[in-house]
Amino acid sequence: MMRPKALVLSILVVLLVCIPAGAATSEREVPTAAYPAYTSGSLLAFGAGEAMLTVYGAGSASAVPDRAEIRFGLSGAGESIDEARQAVHAVAGRLEAALSAAGLSHTLENIFFTVWPAWGRGEEKGPRFEAAADYRLILNRPEQLGAALEVVAETGQLRVHEMRYFAADGAQLRREALREAVRSAQATAAYFARALGKTAAETVAVEEVASAPAAIYPRVNTEEAGLDRYRVYAFVRLTCRLK
């Protein structure tokens, strides 16, 4: 009796042998995807007369960035933990007021805070505690990124961790990318099925393999070149029954 692994290998060998080089499908019939490496498939047998085909599909969606983000750190010190915390919050308060006075449409969020004893000072006089906090500044108008950086720099604590552009409706872009990935996988399944002399019938399962945005970072000549499009990529695995 043939083992399951040997059965699968035999089917794959038959698949390779039964597609002669001279009978290649024309290029226009070959499905295309955002990443050609994901245009692949595998054939599995589950019993006499029944086979399942698994393929991968890739898709993407893009939009002009309508938001900019700056992540930066602020610090402070005090004789107590509360004083150190208040020192940081005071700097953040002045920054919030300066951003509003500059007419910047924004949202300022505290995303991390820590405080620790000021070790190693010896007899030196100074605050007993130091504190640090990370903030996220979201700008509703990406073109205001430069002006926002100037305002942050005026606090005297310009410790920027990251700057990027993005689209506010990233969830919608992800849905569009997934739909394109499914269409790509369906086209790939139909292509492999034709090569086998079969039809890709019922779709048994669709699974998202990965979904990730491509971050856009500021460039020196942004004003001249304009912003790159914010793009989201999605990858799916689709399994269908052949008949």
State how many domains the chain has: 2
Assess contact for 55 and 203: CB atoms under 8 A: no
pLDDT at residue 120, as a whole number: 60
Q: Where are the alpha helices (DSSP H) in the chain?
A: 4-17, 81-101, 145-153, 170-195, 222-225
* Statement to judge: residues 73 and 161 lie in one domain: yes
Assess contact for 151 and 104: CB atoms under 8 A: yes
Assess contact for 181 and 80: CB atoms under 8 A: no
* Statement to judge: residues 110 and 137 lie in one domain: yes
* Statement to judge: residues 157 and 42 lie in one domain: no
pLDDT at residue 51, as a whole number: 87
Query: pLDDT of the chain along its 243 residues, tens only?
Result: 445 444 333 333 333 333 333 333 343 444 444 433 344 455 554 445 578 999 999 999 999 999 999 999 999 999 999 999 999 999 999 999 999 999 999 999 999 999 999 876 555 667 889 999 999 999 999 999 999 999 988 887 778 899 999 999 999 999 999 999 999 999 999 999 999 899 887 899 999 998 888 877 776 554 555 678 899 999 999 999 998
pLDDT at residue 26, as a whole number: 40
pLDDT at residue 203, as a whole number: 92
CATH code at position 160: 3.30.70.2970
Question: Is residue 108 one of the residues assigned to a domain?
Answer: yes
Tell me how far apart the alpha carbons of residues 89 and 222 are, in angstroms, rounded to a whole number: 33
In the numeric block, which tokens belong to residue 35? 């990443």
Q: Write phi, then psi, for 198 (nearest 5 degrees).
A: -125, -175
* Statement to judge: residues 90 and 109 lie in one domain: yes
pLDDT at residue 227, as a whole number: 78
pLDDT at residue 5, as a whole number: 44
pLDDT at residue 10, as a whole number: 39
Question: Is residue 190 one of the residues assigned to a domain?
Answer: no
Question: Is residue 188 one of the residues assigned to a domain?
Answer: no
Assess contact for 43 and 53: CB atoms under 8 A: yes
Residues spanned by the domain of 19: 4-64+169-180+198-242
pLDDT at residue 49, as a whole number: 57
Pairing state between β 67-78 and 106-117:
unpaired
Question: Is residue 48 one of the residues assigned to a domain?
Answer: yes
* Statement to judge: residues 60 and 176 lie in one domain: yes
* Statement to judge: residues 72 and 37 lie in one domain: no
